[in-house]
Amino acid sequence: MKMKAAVLREYKQPLTIEEVELDPPQANEVLVKTAYTGFCHTDLSFMEGGVPFPVPAVIGHEAAGVVQEVGPGVTTLKKGDHVVATWMVPCGNCPECASGRGYTCRTGHGTYIHGKLPGMTSRLKDADGNELSHHIFVSGFAEYMVLPEKGAIKINKDIPLKEACIIGCAMPTGFGAVYNVANVKPGDSVAIWGLGGVGLHVVSGARLRGAYPIIGVDIEGSKEEIARQFGVTHFIDSSKEDPVPAVQLLTGGERMPDGTIMGGGADFVFEVSGNNGAQAQAYWAIGLAGKMVLVGISEADSTTELGLTWLPPQCKTIEGTLYGNVQIQKELPILADLVLRGDHQMDKLITKTFKLEEINDVADAMRKHQIVGRWVCEWD
């Protein structure tokens, strides 16, 4: 079938809106009509070449829609089901999956980094018949998607699809970092660097876990209002002040006569932006026996210098996470229920909708740090 899609043909170049060909779903795949697609900072990173990926490709990895057709062997979905697309599709057979760590599935990672669906094939071609890559199993900036059955998570039809698309990436990544990786408990102090779509979910997860204080750090002061709506108790504009001593003082530190700060530091620090400068700041804001959770995806060639002399004796930890370490079949429906109950205020996160033809303007707005909350593409 022919459809409209956003194609990345060259890094650091605008996306092209093209008519492309989408083949029917094969065994254990489903055809989904896209309803909404979120524009994530990771999409911009792919466009800029910060995350190496085979091009040309139809981009987009945070989407929701309605099942139109199912391929042979599909048993869990039927036409008319509402689904969230997920880019984390464990194979179920590798050592990582067998140990309950499907979020590190070697087969899944090895497949999507080559721009393929399971089986190492593509369903996408351009108007000239040339193969296009799938963007980490989803390719959500297109009118339709062919998804692996395991990568289409059925949700309650009462959940607005506009909000459901965020369940595909930002929500599990943020919530999982709090619940699965840090295991934040009531009264724990938390600081979050980067208050975009994922960072606000870290804030929300910390709030639901009873953390205090919840300190938000961002170079964009315009994000303070929405950050406080999601649960930030203190906001630091890092373009105007050094956040490290500010966090230390907010978490029990005391300023000495010589100006140094004794003690303090957050129990849990989440670095969500993927920026190496922010990573260094977050590291120095960790308290004794505290943990830094690296959530943001850094550019492939970036490095961060950290002074590790006191890391072992102060019992501090640095831990990475991908997709919040979630088990998609079990935990995404739980997160969907949070949205349905209104516990998460998802409607406040989505601050703008746009049409596919505006996507390059949206990417430019993200480059200029003009996006607050999440902007989502609305399909007819």
Does one domain contain both 138 and 65?
yes
Domain hosting 36: range is 2-168+345-378
CATH number at residue 254: 3.40.50.720
Considering the domain boundaries, does residue 282 fall inside one?
Answer: yes
Does one domain contain both 318 and 208?
yes
Q: What is the pLDDT of residue 304?
A: 84
Considering the domain boundaries, does residue 363 fall inside one?
Answer: yes
What is the rounded CA–CA span in Å between residue 145 and residue 368?
Answer: 30
For residue 346 the two structure tokens come to: 């998802």
Give me the mean pLDDT over the 98-119 stretch.
93
Position 238 confidence tier, pLDDT thresholds 50, 70, 90: very high
Give me the mean pLDDT over the 80-101 stretch.
94
Instruction: Return the residue matching tokens 């088990």.
Output: 327
Give me the mean pLDDT over the 205-219 stretch.
97
**pLDDT higher than threshold 90 for residue 155:** yes
What is the rounded CA–CA span in Å between residue 88 and residue 40?
Answer: 16
Does one domain contain both 213 and 280?
yes
Position 161 confidence tier, pLDDT thresholds 50, 70, 90: very high
What is the rounded CA–CA span in Å between residue 313 and residue 310?
Answer: 6
Encode pLDDT of 254-309 as tens digits. 999 998 898 899 999 999 998 999 999 999 999 999 999 999 988 877 888 888 88
Instruction: Return the residue matching tokens 């963007």.
Output: 135
Q: What is the pLDDT of residue 346?
A: 84
Considering the domain boundaries, does residue 262 fall inside one?
Answer: yes
Other CB atoms within 10 A of residue 329 CB: 14
Does one domain contain both 164 and 207?
no
Considering the domain boundaries, does residue 339 fall inside one?
Answer: no
Q: What is the pLDDT of residue 300?
A: 77
Does one domain contain both 232 and 290?
yes
**At residue 286, what is the residue type?**
I
Does one domain contain both 248 and 353?
no
Does one domain contain both 287 and 358?
no
Does one domain contain both 16 and 162?
yes
Return the exposure string of 239-257: e unless at least 16 CB atoms fall within 10 Å of the residue's CB, then b. Answer: eeeebbbbbbebbebeeee
Does one domain contain both 221 and 315?
yes
Considering the domain boundaries, does residue 12 fall inside one?
Answer: yes
3-state DSSP of 17-81 = EEEEEECCCCCCEEEEEEEEEECCHHHHHHHHCCCCCCCCEECCCCEEEEEEEECCCCCCCCCCC
Peptide bond just before 25 cis, omega within 30 deg: no
Position 355 confidence tier, pLDDT thresholds 50, 70, 90: very high
Considering the domain boundaries, does residue 311 fall inside one?
Answer: yes
| 286-294 and 317-320 strand pairing | parallel
Does one domain contain both 305 and 178?
yes
CATH number at residue 156: 3.90.180.10
Encode pLDDT of 362-371 as tens digits. 999 999 999 9
Encode pLDDT of 310-344 as tens digits. 788 889 999 999 999 999 989 999 999 888 887 77
Cβ-in-10-Å burial (0-12, 13-18, 19+) of 87 comes to buried
Does one domain contain both 13 and 114?
yes
Question: Average pLDDT over the chain, rounded to whole?
Answer: 94
- Structural domains of the chain, count: 2
Phi, then psi, of 312 in degrees rounded to 5: -65, -50
Does one domain contain both 302 and 368?
no
